[in-house]
């Protein structure tokens, strides 16, 4: 397994362009199956999760190509609705294929998806939404088969504002007969991006970004070209890293309006931010201040995907902070790793209590999931001494070569790959 070696203690400085959003690209790649032809997507980063999704589409019969930051998917040859089990186990976002495949072929076979171990992430809402549209669902062991001769629009209420369920229902309903009204829908920017993509293909959807989305089904969608939005979590990670290292960083091609909750928290911590269109500067010349209480919650509240990164900043802040996690119950696994570096954090159920320390120190730590891994990289950049982050395949799921990203800002960070053992020719 590769690992990252970080020599910390240097402020980040410079300019960085934010790459496209993983959580927007994945459902849009799945949605490409709703049309027959060439879909061309720009601003698509090179990530493990993107690679897995393209592998799945290829196994389904599509022709995929990823060159630089452009992905082309020819779906005219797609001939299978059976998502391979081995690939589904690698990535939870493979669940997005349910709606598009069901809409296109009238049936779909999937398996329970994999992904980061950050708590219970049921797919009940996905299945309930598809059932409301008329799908018959059979479950046996880990296998799920859905069938519908024709999907019919319906009024659907989500018990929880699930991003994935919202997107799956939108995709399935886009070509259903009649009107679907989805209430208590998730409001994330990635959902708005999916709506824009589907509408560019010819769908008739309004309301994304609010809690009620209305989908008027159309007979047919057409392939199109589309540009993916910037990744707000990558942008947030860079902002927090700049603050934690007491540096000054300018980000381009970002969307500051997607980061309002983080900007508010950083201002409370004494971090300076300035914004001009899609350019943002973040600087922190002194020790950050503690933030009394932060609660993660669905968008537009503070995102769970930035909880672990902000915890690093609060670990270095002057004073006592409390972080409450309300989205995933298994998302404090990074606390033990940060404690190895000298952070003073205790947890009780879904709350973390952070007493800021003057400095943290390099150590060998393990990335337990995608965002925890990003937090440990930030900690390594801010720490005194050398930090080694292991199990970085988790990080590669959501950051396009995170070491290159931070090297461009002056960080001393390299990726080390294991040296293969020489063959024992004597045997």
Distance between CA atoms of residues 22 and 14, nearest Å: 24
- Catalytic site residue 146? no
CA–CA gap between residue 275 and residue 331 (Å, rounded): 31
Strands (E), 193-287: 204-206, 212-216, 225-227, 248-252, 272-276, 279-283
CB atoms within 10 A of CB 38: 15
Which residue among the candidates 116, 146, 224, 284 is catalytic per the annotation? 116
Question: Residue 6 belongs to what H/E stretch?
Answer: strand 3-7
Distance (Å, whole) CA 384 – CA 7: 8
DSSP 384: B
Continuous segment of H or E residues that includes residue 352: strand 351-355
Q: Which helix (H) or strand (E) holds 266?
A: helix 260-268
To 5 degrees, how large is the angle CA 82–CA 87–CA 89? 105
Tokens of 36: 């027959």
Eight-class DSSP state of 11: -
Catalytic residues: 116
């Amino acid at each position: 397994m590769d690992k990252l070696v970080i020599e910390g203690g240097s402020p980040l400085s410079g300019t960085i362009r934010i790459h496209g959003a993983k959580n927007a690209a994945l459902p849009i790649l799945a949605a490409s199956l709703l049309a027959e032809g060439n879909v061309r997507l720009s601003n698509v980063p090179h990530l493990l999760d993107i690679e897995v999704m393209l592998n799945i589409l290829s196994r389904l019969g599509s022709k995929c190509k990823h060159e630089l930051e452009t992905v082309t998917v020819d779906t005219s040859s797609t001939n299978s609705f059976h998502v391979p089990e081995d690939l589904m186990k690698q990535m939870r976002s493979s669940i997005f294929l349910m709606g598009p495949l069901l809409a296109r072929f009238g049936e779909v076979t999937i398996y329970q998806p994999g992904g980061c171990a950050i708590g219970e992430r049921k797919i009940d809402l996905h299945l309930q939404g598809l059932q409301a549209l008329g799908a018959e669902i059979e479950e046996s062991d880990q296998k799920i088969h859905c069938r519908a001769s024709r999907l019919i629009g319906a009024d659907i209420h989500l018990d929880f504002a699930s991003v994935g369920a919202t997107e799956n229902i939108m995709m399935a309903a886009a070509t259903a007969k009649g009107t679907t009204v989805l209430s208590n829908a998730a409001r994330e920017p990635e959902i708005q991006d999916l709506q824009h993509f589907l509408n560019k293909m010819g769908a008739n959807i309004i309301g994304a970004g609010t809690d009620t989305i209305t989908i008027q089904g159309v007979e047919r969608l057409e392939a199109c070209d589309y540009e993916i939005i910037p990744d707000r979590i990558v942008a947030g990670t860079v902002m927090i890293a700049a603050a934690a290292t007491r540096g000054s960083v300018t980000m381009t091609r970002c969307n500051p309006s997607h980061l309002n909750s983080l900007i508010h928290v950083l201002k409370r911590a004494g971090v300076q931010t300035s914004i001009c269109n899609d350019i943002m500067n973040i600087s922190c010349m002194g020790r950050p201040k503690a933030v009394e209480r932060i609660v993660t919650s669905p968008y537009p509240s503070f995102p769970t995907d930035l909880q672990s990164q902000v915890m690093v900043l609060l670990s270095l802040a002057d004073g006592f902070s409390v972080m409450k996690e309300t989205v995933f119950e298994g998302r404090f696994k990074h606390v033990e790793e940060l404690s190895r570096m000298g952070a003073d954090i205790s947890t009780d159920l879904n709350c973390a209590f952070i007493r800021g320390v003057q400095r943290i120190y390099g150590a060998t730590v393990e990335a337990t999931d995608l965002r925890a891994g990003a937090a440990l990289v930030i900690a390594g950049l801010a720490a005194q001494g050398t930090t080694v982050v292991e199990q970085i395949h988790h990080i590669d799921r959501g950051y396009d070569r995170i070491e290159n990203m931070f090297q461009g800002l002056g960080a001393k960070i390299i990726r080390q790959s294991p040296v293969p053992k020489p063959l024992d020719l004597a045997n």
